[in-house]
Each structure stands twice: as structure tokens, then as C-alpha cells.
Amino acid sequence: MAPHDLSVLTASRTADSPNRGAGGMDSLRIRGGKPLSGEIRVGGAKNAALPLMAAALLTDGTLTLRNIPRLADIATMTSLLEQHGVTVSFEEPTNGAPGRTAKLCAAGVDNTTAPYDIVRKMRASVLVLGPLLARFGRARVSLPGGCAIGTRPVDLHLKGLEQLGAEIDLDQGYIVASAPKGLTGADVVFPFVSVGATENLLTAAALARGVTRLKNAAREPEVGDLAECLKAMGARIEGIGADTLTIEGVDALSGADHLVPPDRIETGSLAMAAAATGGDVTLVGARPDMLEQVFRAMGQAGAVIDVDGDRVRVRCPRVLGVDVMTEPYPGFPTDLQAQMMAMLARAEGASMVTESIFENRFMHVPELSRMGANINLHGRSAMVRGVNRLTGAEVMATDLRASMSLVIAALAAEGETVVNRVYHLDRGYERLEDKLAPCGAEIERIAG
């Protein structure tokens, strides 16, 4: 197999572009202190869309995915799949449909290597490992390194695939996996819950010989959604939504047409922005059933949340201190911990925020402190003592959700905040400033 020249590929193949130009070193200027008020439509879920796109590698049929958000991470996954030889096209929404439609066809895959240059940009690239191995019997995927929120190893992915019969070596920073005679079903017991490992094993098992049982599987809605899409492609899966998934492998999968669910993390983030500013915002096109723990915690913190079908109205006359601990689904998500902390920074009373999923996901704390928050870290817990006011500052974050937490703090703060390195936000929030400005936020993007 000829190694790919990535510079040629990125120049000749057009990935969908993230928000506004290159994103580069853009920043957001926010003048805070105004309650948000109005309606915001929620976009498609990034963390559902990424594994779904990787699942296109499992078939030579066309996988149609609707409601794909316009995000930098989607552009990265598109580039990755294109360099494998997958054709990817996007159609803009018509007739009031919520998001873009992607059509992916992996009939002409000519390269089973996921190169370092793409994987280092986005860890979710490792989700191509299971599908490539299951369909082509081999894959060479750059090992994702650590990242801002922790070391994040992929040992569970690799051990699980070995249990399905894969041979795995590490060579010059790459995972080299092979299964010349195909994969065979097995019982895989995860020692702890991993979303990505469950997704890689689920896609691999769909084409393995015999029955696979994934025990202590992640129950995140994005995992269930991937399983539903695989079923529509012809996979046999039972136990969706439970902690044991049973997969009876089939010889081949076909294309399918699948609707990406709304982004529960975007929904929660916007709800927290509304609450932190004492606003009145209705989120439209949401799936409130995926946010029960989040809305419970927000309710304890003083938010009034009214659910009407796919509409969620959030008001918050005063924010009260509350204790929150992140846990695998259905617990409070780690992906909303930073945003909740920003909301609690101005609470009446103290809150204890405990992070149990990642070892280093408190990068927002020093920046929130620079805006006047009173937060002390004790190991995996943060003691947040509510302050009367936050003040604007120039801040910067090193990951997506931490950046969103700074935006929330900025919206609630007095004066002007400049949030630098907005490319982190563009990885996971579509047109954030365009969604917030109609609700009264004074927010503008400054090209960097």
C-alpha cells in the first residue's frame, strides 16, 4: 500500500470547513452581565456523529447521516475517512431540516492507515480501528497521545480487540492490528466504562464470526445511537441502553439512512449559560430525556426547567450552591463539569464539584479564578465558594468544554472578556456566537 502524501490530500480533497474561515487564532469578545433571553435551536451531536461516520467503513454501501453539525472535529473525521479512500459529500439542509446531510461510501477504501498528523488533532480518530480491522482484516492507526484533560490511554480498545482474535503490535507510535482470518466473537468484560472502547468493540463485533458480549459497556446515548444505526445497516445487536450488549456477527453490512440525535452536551451548555445569566431561554429540538441528571442538578441549583416535548425552557432567578460528581451515563457527564462550575461560580453558598472520569479536567479553574471566582482544588474535587460578581478578563482554555465554561462565565461577568483560542470551541460548538447573539448576548468573533 502506497503511503499517502497528506499535504497533497488536504490540498486536493475538500473537507467541510469549520465555523468561519480557518478558525486559526480567532478569539471571542464578550461583554457580560445581560440575561440571555430567546430561543436557540440545538445542533446534531458531535460525539454521536463521529463514531457513526467511522462506521461507514464497515460497508461498501452508502451511509446517509442526517443532522450532521458543522464543526472542526467533523471536518477532521472527514479528512481522515477521505484519506482512507471513503467518498464523503455534504448537502445543505432543505425544507427546514435541522442540519446537513452527509453521504459516505467506503466502496473504494485503498488505505488502512490512520496517520499521526490527523490522529494527533482528534483522539476520536481511533474509532476507525474497529471498523477497518473488522472489514479489511488489518489497520494501522497512530496511537493518540495524552491530551489536555488527561493521559487517556486506549488499552481497553486494544485488549478487547485482542479478545476478538486480533493480533496487535505497537510500531513506531502506531497500533498495528491484524486479523487475517477475520475476528471471532467473545465475551469482553470492561474493567471500567469507556465510551470509545465500547464503540470500537461494537463496530468490530458487528462483522465478527459468532456472538460477542460486551459487559460493563458504556450506556451513553451516543453508544445506543451507534448501535441503532448498525442495526439499520443489518447488524444484530441486543441490549441497547443496558450495560451488556450482545452482538451476533454478520457477514456483511449494507448502507442505511440515519438521523443524528441532538447534542445533549450543547443543550446542557446552553441551559447553563441561560441559568448563569439569570435568563429565560428555550432550547428547541432537544432530547431532554438524555439530560435527566443534569437538569436535576441544575434544579437543585435554583434553575426552573420546563420540558415540553423537544423544547426546554430554562430560567434561573438565583443560583444556589450544589454538589455535583461526574459519572458515566446516566450520571452527570464529565463533558458538562466545566460549564456547571462556571454557573456555580456566582452561586449563593458553596459547591463541591468532583471529576471522576478524567484525572486532569480542571484546566478552566485558574482561568475562572482570574475572572474573580473562588475555587480551591483538592485532588479530584473543586470547592467552589460562590462570589457576588465575576469580572471580565482576557482568558484562554486548552480544551473544548473548558472554553465553553469561560464563555458562560464571561456572559455572567461584569465588563469585557476576551476568550482566546476559539478553535477549541469550534471543535464542538456550531456558530456559538450566532446562536447567543439573538438572545441578547454581546458577543463577537475577532479574527486572529
How far, CA to CA in Å, does 242 sit from each of 273, 334, 355, 423, 442? 32, 20, 23, 35, 43
- Does residue 208 interact with ligand EPZ by CB under 6 A? no
Among 42, 74, 86, 197, interactor with ligand EPZ by CB under 6 A = 197
Nearest approach, Cβ of 65 to ligand EPZ (angstroms)?
Answer: 15
| Nearest residue to the partner ligand EPZ, using Cβ | 196
Quote the Cα angle for 198-200-203, to 5°.
105
**The 211-215 sheet, strands edge to edge:** 187-189, 211-215, 244-248, 236-238
Within 28-87, which residues bind ligand EPZ (CB under 6 A)?
A: 47, 50
- Does residue 207 interact with ligand EPZ by CB under 6 A? no
Q: Distance between CA atoms of 112 and 92, rounded to whole angstroms?
A: 30
Residue located via cell numbers 465555523: 19
Residue nearer to ligand EPZ on the CB measure, 153 or 438: 153
C-alpha cell at 88: 464523503
- Does residue 428 interact with ligand EPZ by CB under 6 A? yes
105 is an active site residue: no
- Does residue 200 interact with ligand EPZ by CB under 6 A? no
- Does residue 401 interact with ligand EPZ by CB under 6 A? yes
Residue nearer to ligand EPZ on the CB measure, 157 or 421: 157
Within 93-152, which residues bind ligand EPZ (CB under 6 A)?
A: 123-124, 150, 152
Contacts (Cβ under 8 Å, ≥6 apart) of 379: none
The contact pattern for ligand EPZ, residues 145-164, with x = CB under 6 A and - = no contact, is -----x-xxxxxx-------
Among 23, 196, 221, 288, interactor with ligand EPZ by CB under 6 A = 196
Residue nearer to ligand EPZ on the CB measure, 59 or 405: 405
Within 324-383, which residues bind ligand EPZ (CB under 6 A)?
A: 334-335, 357-358
Q: Distance between CA atoms of 254 and 113, rounded to whole angstroms?
A: 23
Pairing of strands 236-238, 244-248: antiparallel
Which of the residues 147, 229, 316, 439 is marked catalytic? 147
Residue nearer to ligand EPZ on the CB measure, 71 or 410: 71
Binding site for ligand EPZ (CB under 6 A): 47, 50, 123-124, 150, 152-157, 194-197, 222, 334-335, 357-358, 400-401, 428
